[in-house]
Amino acid sequence: MKYKLLALDMDGTLLTDQHQISPETELWIRKAMAAGVHVCLSTGCRFIEAVPFGEQLGLDTPMVTVNGSEVWRTPHELYHRELLDKAIVSQMYQMSRDKNVWFWADAVEGNYNEQNWEPELLDRNQWLKFGYHTEDHDIRHSLMLELQNIGGLEITNSSPYNLEINPAGINKASGIRTVCELLDVKMSEVVAIGDSLNDLAVIQAAGLGVAMGNAQIAVQENADVVTASNNDDGIALIIRDYILTEE
């Protein structure tokens, strides 16, 4: 079999707009697993948000969460974790206040935003990812420039209206490379499917990079294949036409 690992983004990819795995997509994922293909969730979400979907699919394979800041050897065994510098988290928090922009921050200890933020959290928590959401393009662009000036950061998005920040070099591609080492699989044997800029690195690094039909234009332009949307079983089509085809 040409492809041995299927790396799946969750929101906008594995999950429909109703935040569910469609029966057809689940059926084809289970067919791939039965044929010996490793299936790995590769998501910007935190572990606690991802693991129920892994359990629904019966996965016991490694998992990449928080855009690569965490790699799990099995769904409940942490293999590697990469943290943001607390001083930079403090700086990014201050930027959100200066520009009056909604922010969120993922920590090992939980998920925080302006509704539950307390100053003492900064030193107490282990920070994995920071994010901003604004539909104002100019504000988002100025945030982007400031973040680039800080340096040492990986800046992506999971929607056209947000920015997601991880430590430099930490992304879904770095996460899937680690998974490949754990499973003794080559990156050329990976099919990676996603819809947002936080999927771009792994889509470009994989043997077959797939953009969903609902993916951002930059993702579609850099993918090997564009499939149907997340509401139209795009994953199922790729498994049928590229992974389980007779060579």
Return all residues near 84 (Cβ < 8 A) that are at least 6 apart.
127, 128, 129, 130, 165, 166, 167
199 is a catalytic site residue = no
Strand order in the sheet with 63-65: 63-65, 70-74, 77-81
Helix (H) / strand (E) element for 37: namely none
Cβ-contact 62, 179 below 8 angstroms: yes
Alpha-carbon span 197 to 212, nearest angstrom: 12
Choosing from 9, 195, 199, 233, the catalytic residue is: 9
Cβ-contact 166, 127 below 8 angstroms: no
Return all residues near 112 (Cβ < 8 A) that are at least 6 apart.
104, 105, 106, 121, 125
**What are the residue numbers of the active site?**
9
